[in-house]
Structure 1
Amino acid sequence: MSTSLLIMLVAAYLIGSMSGARITSRLFNTSSPIEHGSKNPGATNMYRIAGFKPAICTFTIDVFKGTIPLWGAYFLGFQPLELGLIAISCCIGHIFPIYHKFRGGKAVATAFGVLLPIGLELGVALALTWIVTAYKTRYSSIASIVAVSLAPLFVWLLKPKYTYAVCMLTALIIIRHIPNIKRLLQGCEPTIDNKRERNS
């Protein structure tokens, strides 16, 4: 492993460790996302406990913290497999953030962010897949699983050289959603609209 790749992996992890939900909860003075709702520091849970604007803010931060290191690595000339490792490092930072006692989220928005540099068409395809699935099912977890599962296919159709790297990222996100899959099978997974713990 080259020194430059090692530096990028560490930088991506540290950037990924910044929590959009925690930053947003301070900006909007809302309840802590790790103590309310699904206790997941992500955009969907911020929507449940605080509403639309904090959710959008959380999503935006988490997307950009994925996009920035990947854009940098892309312009520095890293190869597709190396970009995949950097993307995974960034998402691992979101899942196990060093700044927050390694208690993180599902990394869906961050994964979306690291995929954006591949192409706008991919971003549109993934966003539409998530939106349509979420609208039909009302489950953010199902929408996320469907979108990331289709990501390798979309990439293969658009830019095949990144397919293996995206497959690695897809595997990470699906593994992170195993608890959600279990709750879905048990019928106790909260829907997007579930705001029983939302503050007044």
Structure 2
Amino acid sequence: MFWLLLIFSYFLGSVSFAIIICKIMGKKDPRLLGSKNPGATNMLRIAGTRLAILTLIGDLLKGILPVIIAKALDFTLPQQAWIGLSAIIGHLYPIYFKFKGGKGVATAAGMLLVTSPIIGIGAITVWGITFYVSRISSLSALLALFVTLILTPIVAMPILIPVLILCLLILWRHRRNLHDLITGHEHHF
């Protein structure tokens, strides 16, 4: 069952709500506009608050649903984290969209909320405060990753390896943003 749920999680993670919502609503592909990222932040830029919220909910649920199923099947906490990580990998590298996906922040938040609510709430809180103060989504995501890395060994050591991989993957997806932050060219809202 673990391997089946791991595969299901990847395929669920591969569903890009930003792309699907844009198609349904007659909007242009989010991979062609704004930051060219199919995620909630870019949807806010290019399609407005309502469609950004729908995208955010969909991306959060991709991280939440597989982990809830894993909990219901009495999988261990590390197994739950690996299953959640599989959804995040699906979001980053979706099979349905030529492996060109989003940055994984919302899906990771969903996964963390279920595997370790303290870490999930901590990361989301840091993201929210940083975004409120700076109006820079990528900076918010990077600081949330930092908090996740600090809290995991303290609060949920058994999931350290999948969380470390999660953080490295999301950091890799933000490498251009990191460069733009350092050079002062990152976009603000």
TM-score w.r.t. length of structure 2: 0.91
> 1:126 is aligned with what amino acid?
A
Cα deviation, residue 189, structure 1: 2.0
Once structures 1 and 2 are overlaid, which stretch shifts more, 115-124 or 134-143?
115-124
Q: What pairs up with 1:87-106 in 2 under 5 angstroms?
A: 87-106=84-103
Matches within 5 A, 1:132-171: 132-171=129-168
The percent of aligned pairs where both chains have the same amino acid is 37
**1:7, distance to aligned residue in structure 2 (A):** 1.3
Number of the residue aligned with 1:40: 37
Quote the residue 1:76 is aligned against. 73
Q: Tell me the CA shift for residue 119 of structure 1.
A: 4.3
CA deviations on 1:167-188 (whole Å, 9 max, x unpaired) are 2222221122112111222322
Equivalent residues in 2 for 1:12-51 (5 A)?
12-51=9-48
Match in the other structure for 2:183: 186
After the TM superposition, list the runs of 4 or more consecutive aligned residues in structure 1 that deviate by more than 4 angstroms: none
Task: Output the CA distance in 2 between the equivalents of 1:110 and 1:85.
Answer: 13
**Counterparts in 2 of 1:76 and 1:14: CA distance versus 1, 3 Å:** same
Matched AA of 1:100: F
TM-score by length of structure 1 reads 0.86
Within 2, Cα distance between the matches of 1:79 and 1:168? 18
Q: 1:84 touches 1:169 (CA, 8 Å); kept in 2?
A: no
Give the secondary structure class of the aligned counterpart of 2:46. helix
Mapped contact 2:128–2:140 kept (Cα < 8 A): yes
Q: Distance in 1 between matches of 2:94 and 2:165?
A: 20
Cα deviation, 1:146-183, whole Å, max 9, x if unaligned, reads 10221133344444433333222222211221121112
2-structure distance, mates of 1:131, 1:168: 23
Count the aligned residue pairs. 189
- Aligned position for 2:109: 112
Helix, strand or coil at the partner of 1:124: helix
- Which is further off, 182-191 or 125-134? 182-191
Alignment check: 8 A CA contact 2:80 2:115 kept: no
Higher normalized contact order (CA 8 Å, seq sep 6+, divided by chain length) = 1
Residue 131 of structure 1 corresponds to 128
Hey, which of these two has a bigger chunk of helix by percent? 2
Whole-angstrom CA distance in 1 between matches of 2:116 and 2:80: 14
The equivalent of 1:85 in structure 2 is 82
1:9 aligned onto 2:9: no
What's the offset of the Cα at 1:118? 2.5
Query: What 5-or-longer segments of structure 2 have no aligned partner?
Result: none
Contact 1:87 1:169 in 2 (8 A): no
> How far apart, in 1, do the equivalents of 2:44 and 2:118 lie?
27
CA distance in 1, matches of 2:70, 2:127: 27
